[in-house]
Amino acid sequence: MASGYVAWVYWLTVDLVAIFGTMAADGMHIKLGIPYAVSSAFFAAVLAVVLISWYATEKTLSIHSIRTRRREAFYWATVLSTFALGTALGDMTATTLQLGYLTSGIMFTLIFAVPGVAHRWLRLNAIAAFWFAYIVTRPLGASYADWMGVPRSAGGLGYGRGPVAIALTVPIIAFVAYLAISRRDVEAEAEAAAAPWPAAPGRHRS
């Protein structure tokens, strides 16, 4: 286990958690036959329980306060729940509600902008705005990826899920390599050294 934030370790973990969350959501629908609406509600409830438990225990949901193993456990439980919820939600809007993948992607893009606007002009709490936007990133990205990968008969571009996954992996690797070298996502060393726990995943300079 890493003793502090390491870019490639963090983003590899995010990727693995994303895959697991996707498999959990898809497994409930494909293997168990559970409708996307039901699985979306289930994972939304799980996410709510995790966030409420996190706040009740730690009195904050700020990622800048993740300096203990318990807070980090809450963080990863939130990430896992978010990816599972996002997968189910994106599939529900595209298939169950028959909006299609592209329309779903556009819809989630507009929703993604809401917390930014609300924080900038309506004084929405920064932590609430962050988690709002974070939750929406999964169905947003998945909708566009599915649109590019699924066959034209299903409303996509027909490039294939495999090629799309590979094509999207390349810029991700380049981005992570940039962060690992530049360390632009790491807080000032003085502040990090003063913390009682090594800088947590996802912490950024102000």
199 Cβ neighbours under 8 A, 6+ residues apart? 4, 5, 186, 187, 192
Model pLDDT for residues 153-171, shown as the tens digit of each residue: 999 999 998 999 999 999 9
Is 202 part of a structural domain of the chain? no
Mean pLDDT of 127-144: 95
Does a structural domain hold residue 18?
yes
Q: pLDDT for 72-125, tens place per residue?
A: 999 999 999 999 999 999 999 999 999 999 999 999 999 999 999 999 999 999
Residue 200 forms part of a structural domain: no
State mean pLDDT over 122-150: 95
- Looking at the structure of the chain, the number of domains it has is 1
**2 within domain boundaries:** no
pTM to 2 decimal places: 0.84
User: What is the per-residue pLDDT for 21?
Assistant: 85
Asked if 96 contacts 37 with a C-beta cutoff of 8 angstroms, the reply is yes
Inside any domain, residue 155: yes
Alpha-carbon distance values, 16 to 9, 13, 43, 109, 142 (Å): 11, 5, 18, 24, 15
Structural domain boundaries, residue 178? 7-194
Q: How sure is the predictor about 1, in pLDDT bands with cuts at 50, 70 and 90?
A: low
Instruction: Return the number of other C-beta atoms located less than 10 Å from residue 79's C-beta.
Output: 21
Is residue 129 in some structural domain? yes
Please give the angle made by the CA atoms of 60, 65 and 70, to the nearest 5 degrees.
80
